[in-house]
């Protein structure tokens, strides 16, 4: 199965999902969108009001700002894959709960395995928490780490800048560094594939990743 088919298959699984209580209040699932062969993936936290209405990620005010940030990095939305750690809206935009994050984690892992991006940008602390267990976003935003030959770049969530305008310039500066990071990551990713081969799947149907190289957590200066 190729990446596009895998992404479609994951989308279908999400559409029928009742693994956590968020399915009771959702209007639409929000699996994510973008090319299945994208070299860069953006992972936010959870769908909000407009995302729940439309079934698309980042379509509200935070989405407009994300478009601006992408433009600052010389990218267009159509070139990148955008998703969230949970695929259904928490009621009243509350924070996702631990059991919801756990229930939904497998979908995100399947998406990452299928797309196999060279760079993952985490937007906000729930997304960052998948890779960085300790550390404050205020200290490590914009500083990449490597995990399994992939570059992980923690960033603030664009919505944070809507509440705290001083974060606007911080996000713009961090996004402006992305093109250089992508070049470095693509090189690293190619080398990793040469050494370890492409990611393997335990089971092509559920798409679970078998290869899990020892994690390197080197903060770049
Ligand atoms: Fe399923 Fe994730 Fe939606 Fe929960 S949030 S119902 S686990 S798709």
Tens-digit pLDDT profile for residues 160-187: 999 999 999 999 999 999 999 988 887 7
**Ligand 1 centre from 29 Cα, in Å?**
8
Looking at the chain, the whole-number percentage of residues with pLDDT higher than 90 is: 77
Q: Which of 144, 114, 138 is nearest to 125 (CA)?
A: 138
Is a pLDDT exceeding 60 seen at residue 206?
Answer: no
Nearest CA to ligand 1 atom 2: 104
Instruction: Please report the atom of ligand 1 found closest to the CA of residue 103.
Output: 7
23 lines ligand 1 (CB under 6 A): yes
Instruction: Tell me what pLDDT residue 133 has.
Output: 83
On whether the CB atoms of residues 141 and 169 are closer than 8 A, the answer is no
Instruction: Tell me what pLDDT residue 185 has.
Output: 84
**Ligand 1 centre from 185 Cα, in Å?**
31
Tens-digit pLDDT profile for residues 34-43: 999 999 999 9
Tens-digit pLDDT profile for residues 95-132: 999 999 999 999 999 999 999 999 999 999 999 998 98
Instruction: Tell me what pLDDT residue 205 has.
Output: 37
On whether the CB atoms of residues 153 and 178 are closer than 8 A, the answer is yes
On whether the CB atoms of residues 127 and 158 are closer than 8 A, the answer is no
Tokens at 31, concatenated = 């699996």
Nearest CA to ligand 1 atom 3: 88
**Ligand 1 centre from 9 Cα, in Å?**
15
What whole-number distance in Å separates Cα of residue 75 and Cα of residue 83?
16
How sure is the predictor about 196, in pLDDT bands with cuts at 50, 70 and 90?
low
Is a pLDDT exceeding 50 seen at residue 209?
Answer: no
Question: Which 8-state DSSP code applies to residue 41?
Answer: E
User: Class assignment of domain 3-216?
Assistant: alpha beta
Nearest CA to ligand 1 atom 7: 104
Tens-digit pLDDT profile for residues 180-189: 998 888 777 6
Instruction: Tell me what pLDDT residue 187 has.
Output: 78
30 lines ligand 1 (CB under 6 A): no
- Residue range 51-76: average pLDDT? 96
Instruction: Tell me what pLDDT residue 128 has.
Output: 95
| Bigger pLDDT: 207 vs 145 | 145
Ranges of each domain in the chain: 3-216
108 lines ligand 1 (CB under 6 A): no
pTM, rounded to two decimals: 0.86
Residues 73/75/79/84 CA torsion (nearest 10 deg): 40
On whether the CB atoms of residues 200 and 143 are closer than 8 A, the answer is no
Tens-digit pLDDT profile for residues 72-96: 999 999 999 999 999 999 999 999 9
Average pLDDT, the chain: 88
Q: Which of 22, 32, 171, 34 is nearest to 89 (CA)?
A: 22
Residue of 83, 104, 108, 111 to test ligand 1 pocket, by largest number of atoms within 8 Å of CB: 104
């Amino acid at each position: 199965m190729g990446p596009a088919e895998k992404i479609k298959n994951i989308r279908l699984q999400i559409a029928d999902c009742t693994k956590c209580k968020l399915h009771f209040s959702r209007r639409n699932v929000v699996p994510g969108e973008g090319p299945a062969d994208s070299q860069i993936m953006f992972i936010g936290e959870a769908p909000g009001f407009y995302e729940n209405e439309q079934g698309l990620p980042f379509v509200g005010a935070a989405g407009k700002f994300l478009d601006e940030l992408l433009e600052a990095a010389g990218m267009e939305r159509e070139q990148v894959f955008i998703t969230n750690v949970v695929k259904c809206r928490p009621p009243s935009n509350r924070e996702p709960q631990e059991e919801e994050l756990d229930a939904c984690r497998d979908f995100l892992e399947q998406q990452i395995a299928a797309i196999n991006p060279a760079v993952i940008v985490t937007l906000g602390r729930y997304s960052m928490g998948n890779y960085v267990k300790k550390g404050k976003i205020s200290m490590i935003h914009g500083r990449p780490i490597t995990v399994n030959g992939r570059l992980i770049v923690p960033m603030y969530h664009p919505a944070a800048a809507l509440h705290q305008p001083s974060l606007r310039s911080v996000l713009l500066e961090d996004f402006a560094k992305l093109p250089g990071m992508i070049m470095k990551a693509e090189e690293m990713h190619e080398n990793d594939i040469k050494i370890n081969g492409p990611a393997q799947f335990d089971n092509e149907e559920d798409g679970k990743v078998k290869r899990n190289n020892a994690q390197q957590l080197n903060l770049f200066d």
